Amino acid sequence: MTLAAEPGRLLVATSSLFDDNFRRVVILICRYDPVQGALGLVLNRPTDLEVGNVLPHPVAAGRDEPLWVGGPVDRRSLWVLHTRADIGYPGEELMEGVWFGAESGLIRRVLATNAPDPEGEVFRLFAGYAGWGEGQLEAELAADAWRVVPAGPGTLFGGEPERLWGEMMFRSELPCSRDPDAIRNSKLN
């Protein structure tokens, strides 16, 4: 059984993709519409830049979390993926407990409420995004350029980014009923 592309699921690049922007990437589908196309964020490409050095806003001062490459489209745009429901409007919900958005006010609220502590709430800030026009993603899926796999918060925020592609490619070979966080959560293995 093949999963359909929809928000909250992952696209795992296959070896048939030759574009360096998509080689061995895992993309979270954030928006999908058969007519409008799709938008996603690359989950396994951190940069050497720190959030505190990229954003000229006081709430970002001292933040040492990495900035992530979200994709090749509009790399000057910033997108946030986070787990905070208590910040007013949290953005678009992708799955239970996970939101995303690109509004500057949302990004400031997330940064202001997330203490720079590895044990605190989770967020990632992305520069750019991956985008597909009408019918483009469907054509790439039909050509076996991507595998679609389920996702969970542990997949989005946990683990080592350099291992994510291999783990998700392995998961794509398993039955679709597999728990989305089982591979990344050793307590479940």
Tell me: pLDDT of 160 over 60. Answer: yes
Residue 189, both tokens: 């293995």
Q: Which secondary structure element, helix H or strand E, spans residue 77, and what is its range? A: strand 73-82
Residue 51, both tokens: 């959030």
Q: What is the predicted pLDDT for the residue at 1? A: 52
Task: Identify the band that residue 16 occupies on the pLDDT scale cut at 50, 70 and 90.
Answer: confident
Q: Which secondary structure element, helix H or strand E, spans residue 170, and what is its range? A: helix 161-172
Class of domain 10-188 (CATH, top level): alpha beta
List the domain boundaries for the chain.
10-188
CA distances from 168 to 4, 12, 25, 86, 126 (A): 16, 7, 10, 31, 20
Rg, Å, the chain Cα set: 16
Q: What is the predicted pLDDT for the residue at 179? A: 44
**Which DSSP symbol is given to 60?**
G
Cβ count near 178 (within 10 Å): 14
